[in-house]
Structure 1
Amino acid sequence: MKQSTLLALAAVFLTTPQANAWYPYSDKYNRWQAERPFLMAGLHNSVPKDKLDLRISRFRDAGLNTFIWAKPWNAMEYFREAHRQGIEWACWGRDNPDAVVEAMKIPGNSFVMSGDEPSGREKFEKHVRMSEWVRRTYPDTIQFINLSITKIDHDEMVAKCGPDVFSFDHYPLARDGTTHKHYLFDLDWGRHTAMQYRLPYWIYLQSYGRVEEKRDYAYRNPDEADMRFLVYTFLAHGGTGIQFFMYYGYEESMVLDTGVGRQGDSDGPTKYEHTVRTRCWHAVRDVAPEVQNLGRVLVNLRTSGRIGYVGNGELWDHPHPTYKFGPKEPLNHGPFKRHELLKEAEITHGTDRGLLIAFFDDEAGEEYFMVVNMMHGPNMSKMDGARPVRMRFAKSVEKVERLNRHSGRVEVLDTAPAGDAYRDLKLIFEGGTGELFKWSNGKPWATRE
């Protein structure tokens, strides 16, 4: 399909009023998703061969269901072991079709990432050729180019690479304790592109730390509240697949190898006995079951309307960035605007880093909403960041339904009168954590069985 045709279709989609924001993904993607749980993947970045079964089990034990390695020539044994342990594997193309062909002889492939972070014309054209080759050679395989979101025109990438998902990476947690001020803007930009082209929305999330002289590249190792903030803000933007950039074995990675130096430098062979699971590994393991429970619904929903914020604006109240390749239309986020039924929300006690409020639709036109407590920070557990939240509804809302993150079951919650015009619901939200709600109207949740 020509780029002009794609842009015209996107313009029609974005400008046509829609009572229901739900839209279908491609048949190819639907077939892929129907056979799998919500994607929770980890990118490995070193390939020692000792005790391979135990190394791969670290992925499974953290709640991950897909093993990724960038250079397939180096990871064939890892792919075989992942398949043996019942988790899928994926690889990058790295402009090396021969390696992909050899890897694809191994059962259990999930997808092929045709390229990563194209920033210059020459590199981008290589990725274009690789994506064309993957689509032609493996037409039933999910393929995509992963972006550094600010370094390439999204429309050109979609038109030339034909991705099956929209994916980018973001590592916003700085070593000095701050969070990148444009992280939430960038999440909404990714949401906009995914909606524009009706693509599933994936991301690589930060799951390691490192020491660097340049502040923008000095990351902290996420703890519980940090990891939940990353995961739940992405889910609230309509995310349907998470990939963790693990840097397995390196400094402050999910699994640290004490015999390996910075960025993989080593005086000798790595040993499994030297490996240690860090706080980030435990944070991923802690949140992964919740993602799978919520994911049974989220994969059937589509993000809709405005991303709203209330409370402290340090994470969201900034002038829009001026990127070389930026959004071509205004994005739809900012201070929360009163909804017909949800009038307001607030953190009623404790340090406030704001709440995020997002809405979704299912295919039947049912509306859902997610509220995220954005409290997070260095060395902060989910309970350190827990805050009481009051949600105020129209007086007609006597009950709301919530999908329990731990059991996956739907709960009916009673609201309480708040004067003559409103009703309130008060809950404790753990640090960085979101809750998924639906209006209690007798209609079923769009749950995968």
Structure 2
Amino acid sequence: MMRLSVTAPSFALYLLIVASAGTQVGAAGELGRGLRWVRRNPLTTMALTIIPKSSNPQQYRDANLTTVLAWKQRPALLQGSARVGLPWHLHVQSVLLRENGLTDALMARLKNHHDTYQGCTGWIVWDEPNRPDMFVAAQAIRRLKEAYPETLVYSNAFPRGARLERYYGGELPAAGYSYEQYLRDFGTIMDPDVVMYDAYIFREGGATTNPFPTLVTARKVAQELAKPYWSFVQSHSDPRRGYRMPSESDLRMQVFTHLTSGYTGIGYFTYEDQQGPAMVSNDTLERRPIYYHAAHLNQEVRHIGQALRFLTSRAVHYVPGRGNRVPAGVTAWQPGAGDNATIKSIVIENAGTASVEWQDLLIGFFIDDQGQEYFMLTNLWHGPKVSAVERAVTVTLNLDQKVRVVGRLSRKTGQPETLPVNDGVLRLTLPGGTGDLLRLGSSRFPGLAR
């Protein structure tokens, strides 16, 4: 069995990070509830868990997840989280709210959980509501916000792909209805602190469903509403629905694609077996390879997440490899994109002459509260049963000759480092599905714990 040399921070260290992060950016006081919460807390990684016997608290912690996502009100899950010093979020299920909303009796039960087990930092209310559901969920969200002003209160929306009637909850109005309008209703009627959705994109047979139509639409709506945006990603297989078990390169591609687009929270579906095999077997309690893939990935996410919490995504663009097309939902990068005139060209080295599916890049541009610019470059190449090393690419960036150095926030150490630029050329090697957070001309990044 593999052993990990990295572990999640203790709850005391978690509180230290929270305390230090809150002093980094003075503009945080002008932000809404959700964005303030994101800046006070480590970038969230969590995995949906239901079954206490399969969700060993120490093993969950060793997966470098920052938060326990308890999907049912089972005290053993919350007790275990508190015992190992992990913050927890609790799902307030629709079945408990549908008839009478958030009653005094249910509120008392939630308060008991909150007061008994240390570490509650979030409530997730309802899952995949349609439009009529939103009005019921809104009452619960509003009441929880009032009772717990420093605790995140949010929900999870449908992804694209369903019939529009399912989003609307019945016959469509004469003016029509769109997925974008559904997400806008989700964000305004319910007023959650976060816009979140779920999407499972890795199919049996090796195909990957285009993630960008949902990802980009959720980003757009959340930014319009000045809310952070999160996503569930796939960490399970489900033969009945045709989902394959994600490989290391698959998993990294889905997570880093979201980070490059400005997402500040990742939920894994699921931790133990629910709709199919996941990180931990319910039968044997053994950890599958995807557990270890996620554990190493989460450590890297925590490192670059230090800064990402304090950055605002300005643009995200696709850099297609030789002969590849730009997928629907996202636009191609060209010089000057993201208001950045410094990057002149981006080239994948040794790409060959034939088109290779997903041998492409994604670039996201960011800005901090002082107007300083950053960008994140991610290698999208991935595939079934393929490691990150096997899908690595080397990328050449041709920059303005005035750029002498490029700063990088190390995924391995969480510390800033300086990369040399030779005659305007920067070369990077990126593992499959993996991205680097970079800054032109400086290696200073916001949000680093002092």
- Which band: TM-score by shorter chain? 0.7 to 0.9
Query: Distance between the aligned counterparts of 1:120 and 1:162, measured in 2?
Result: 13
C-alpha offsets along residues 65-114 of structure 1, whole Å, 9 cap, x if unaligned? 21112221xx1121011111010111111143414233222221010011
C-alpha offsets along residues 241-286 of structure 1, whole Å, 9 cap, x if unaligned? 11111151343211112x3xxxxxxxxxxxxxx1121121111011
**1:158 alignment counterpart:** 187
**2:70 alignment counterpart:** 69
Equivalent residue runs for 1:361-400 within 5 Å: 361-400=367-406
Query: Distance between the aligned counterparts of 1:285 and 1:134, measured in 2?
Result: 32
Which TM-score applies when normalising by structure 1? 0.80
**1:327 alignment counterpart:** none
Contact 2:72 / 2:93 at 8 angstroms: preserved in 1?
yes
**2:242 alignment counterpart:** 218
Q: How far does residue 437 in structure 1 lie from its aligned partner after superposition?
A: 0.7
Q: How far does residue 30 in structure 1 lie from its aligned partner after superposition?
A: 5.6
Shift in CA distance, 177/25, structure 1 to aligned 2, threshold 3 Å: farther
**2:334 alignment counterpart:** 337
Q: Secondary structure at the match of 1:317?
A: coil
Q: Which amino acid aligns with 2:118?
A: P
Query: Distance between the aligned counterparts of 2:70 and 2:128, measured in 1?
Result: 16
Query: Distance between the aligned counterparts of 2:265 and 2:128, measured in 1?
Result: 18
**1:432 alignment counterpart:** 433
C-alpha offsets along residues 126-184 of structure 1, whole Å, 9 cap, x if unaligned? 32232233223333321112101333612222222111111111111112211112x12
Shift in CA distance, 369/231, structure 1 to aligned 2, threshold 3 Å: same
Query: Distance between the aligned counterparts of 1:366 and 1:35, measured in 2?
Result: 21
Equivalent residue runs for 1:8-407 within 5 Å: 26=31, 28-29=33-34, 32-33=37-38, 35-48=40-53, 55-72=56-73, 75-95=74-94, 96=96, 97=102, 98=106, 99-105=109-115, 106-119=117-130, 121=132, 123-150=133-160, 151=167, 153-181=182-210, 183-212=211-240, 217-250=241-274, 251-257=276-282, 259=283, 274-311=284-321, 316-318=326-328, 333-339=330-336, 340-350=341-351, 351=356, 353-407=359-413
Query: Distance between the aligned counterparts of 2:231 and 2:30, measured in 1?
Result: 17
Q: Secondary structure at the match of 2:157?
A: strand
Which TM-score applies when normalising by structure 2? 0.79
Unaligned runs of 5+ in 1: 1-21, 260-273, 321-332, 418-422
C-alpha offsets along residues 17-70 of structure 1, whole Å, 9 cap, x if unaligned? xxxxx9977354465345532111111032338xx7xx1112101101211122
Q: How many residues align?
A: 382
Shift in CA distance, 313/190, structure 1 to aligned 2, threshold 3 Å: farther
Q: How far does residue 348 in structure 1 lie from its aligned partner after superposition?
A: 1.3
Contact 2:50 / 2:72 at 8 angstroms: preserved in 1?
no
**2:447 alignment counterpart:** 447
Task: Give me the identity figure in percent.
Answer: 25
Shift in CA distance, 278/410, structure 1 to aligned 2, threshold 3 Å: same
C-alpha RMSD of matched pairs (Å): 2.3
Contact 2:122 / 2:151 at 8 angstroms: preserved in 1?
yes
Shift in CA distance, 316/252, structure 1 to aligned 2, threshold 3 Å: farther
Shift in CA distance, 37/125, structure 1 to aligned 2, threshold 3 Å: same
Q: Which amino acid aligns with 1:395?
A: Q
Task: Extract structure 1 runs of 4+ deviating beyond 3 A.
Answer: 22-35, 149-152, 312-316
